[in-house]
Amino acid sequence: MALIPAQAGVISIGDRPWGARQGGCQECGRQGSHGLDFGAGRPILRHPHGAGAEASGAAGGDGGRMSPSVKRFLEERGARYAVETHAPLISFDDAKAILSLDPAKMVKGLTFARPGGFAIVALRAADRADYKKIADALGLRRADLRLAEAEHVRTELDMEQGGIVPLPIGSARVLIDRAVLKLDEIVCGTGRNTSTLIIGRDAWLEAAEGEVGDFAKAG
């Protein structure tokens, strides 16, 4: 099945621009660095050739395609982040094809059911989960570890498949694979599969309050 070309817009939240992004300009089609300027009091997408246009993306202009629960959680903690909106994506292959972001910085969140709630395990998107180690960390037998049902996750955590974000929202407990700490920037879900979160590693770690361990298979 052919993927729908992304109509992506980068939105920065905070009091200063997030920084340059790479990708094609929606206005002119040219490739190059895209930065955000807050001099006008609202996000302005600056093109390398000097033209300016308001940052496109979600309705509301500041991450309206995000899960409201995720947006509220981050804003309550004063986290600075950016959002890129795009066509729906589910898999890592979708993300590599649709997003203009570095695949090496992409982090997936695997959501498991556990007694009393959920566990979200943060792994580099290309890594494979070690279910035995995850079960041990959660105090479960390997045979009892199971992925949470998508509808249950949507109802309880306000996150949908393809948009899981590893944050302790609701009853979620966050486990972080040690390899994720090597990244300086985290690219992950926003709770919706039509937008992606870009956040500095340290800001994300502070918000995630996760337990760090070895949760990916070697090699």
Q: How far is CA 37 from CA 16, 34, 55, 69, in A?
A: 7, 10, 10, 27
Q: What is the rounded average pLDDT for all residues in the chain?
A: 76
Determine contact, residues 188/109, Cβ cutoff 8 Å: yes
Question: What's the domain range around 112?
Answer: 95-212
Q: Kindly report the pTM of this predicted structure.
A: 0.72
Residue 70 belongs to some domain of the structure: no
CATH number at residue 153: 3.90.960.10
Range from 54-63, 137-146, 205-214 carrying the lowest mean pLDDT: 54-63
Residue 208 belongs to some domain of the structure: yes
CA distance 20 to 45: 10
What pairing do the DSSP bridges indicate for beta strands 107-114 and 52-54? unpaired
Structure token digits, residue 77: 């903690």
Residue 151 belongs to some domain of the structure: yes
Residue 82 belongs to some domain of the structure: no
Residue 4 belongs to some domain of the structure: no
Structure token digits, residue 214: 């070895």
Coil, strand or helix: which one is 161? Answer: coil
Residue 202 belongs to some domain of the structure: yes
Residue 100 belongs to some domain of the structure: yes
CA distance 10 to 76: 21
Domain count, the chain: 1
Residue 204 belongs to some domain of the structure: yes
Check pLDDT > 70 for residue 29.
Answer: no
